[in-house]
């Protein structure tokens, strides 16, 4: 076998593997409402010239159709992180501690997959903060918590 044949066989095998693992056809069909949504986003971009406005509209549409948060929580970190990686690390640790306590698990590895657990969506924002006489731009985190499963609603009731 020559190098050319080996390369062609390798490329063909990779192509076959990628086709096996690719998304099935027809899972998310482009129906009429999706086309109208895309046209609306295009119009917003043409009017404003801002991708930020397009992202705002996408998030708003996602909240209205897929995810309705029941709780809005703001987390202010004591160490005032100025790097995104640090804020993201804090959020991961908070997520594990929060879900293990809420679901009464002994370990984060025992946290069930959705829909057996509440949905969490984290957003990190930067805001100017004055500390020790100087101004820095530190991250804080917003947590959107979805509805809890029925057997956990008593944990959040205000009447008990």
Peptide bond into 115 cis (omega under 30): yes
pLDDT at position 1, please? 55
Q: Residue 96 burial (CB < 10 Å; 0-12/13-18/19+)?
A: middle
Q: How far is CA 89 from CA 93, 94, 109, in A?
A: 6, 9, 17
d(CA 9, CA 50): 46
pTM reported for the whole predicted model: 0.61
What pLDDT digit, counting tens, does each position of 85-135 carry?
999 999 999 999 999 998 888 999 998 887 778 888 898 999 999 999 999
How confident is the model over 27-31, as a mean pLDDT?
54
pLDDT band for 156, please (50, 70, 90 cuts).
low
Over 80: is that where the pLDDT of 66 sits?
A: no
DSSP string, 28-48: S---HHHHHHHHHHHHHHHHH
Over 80: is that where the pLDDT of 10 sits?
A: no
């Amino acid at each position: 076998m020559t190098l050319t044949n080996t390369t062609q066989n390798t490329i063909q095998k990779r192509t076959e593997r990628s086709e096996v693992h690719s998304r099935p056809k027809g899972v998310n069909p482009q129906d009429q409402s999706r086309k109208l949504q895309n046209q609306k986003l295009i119009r917003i971009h043409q009017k404003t010239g801002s991708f930020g406005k397009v992202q705002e509209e996408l998030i708003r549409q996602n909240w209205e159709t897929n995810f309705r948060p029941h709780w809005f929580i703001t987390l202010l970190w004591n160490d005032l992180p100025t790097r995104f990686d640090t804020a993201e690390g804090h959020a991961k640790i908070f997520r594990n501690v929060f879900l293990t306590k809420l679901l009464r698990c002994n370990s984060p590895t025992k946290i069930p997959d959705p829909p057996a657990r509440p949905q969490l969506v984290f957003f990190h924002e930067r805001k100017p903060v004055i500390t020790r006489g100087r101004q820095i731009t530190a991250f804080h985190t917003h947590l959107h918590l979805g509805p809890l499963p029925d057997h956990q609603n008593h944990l959040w009731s205000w009447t008990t």
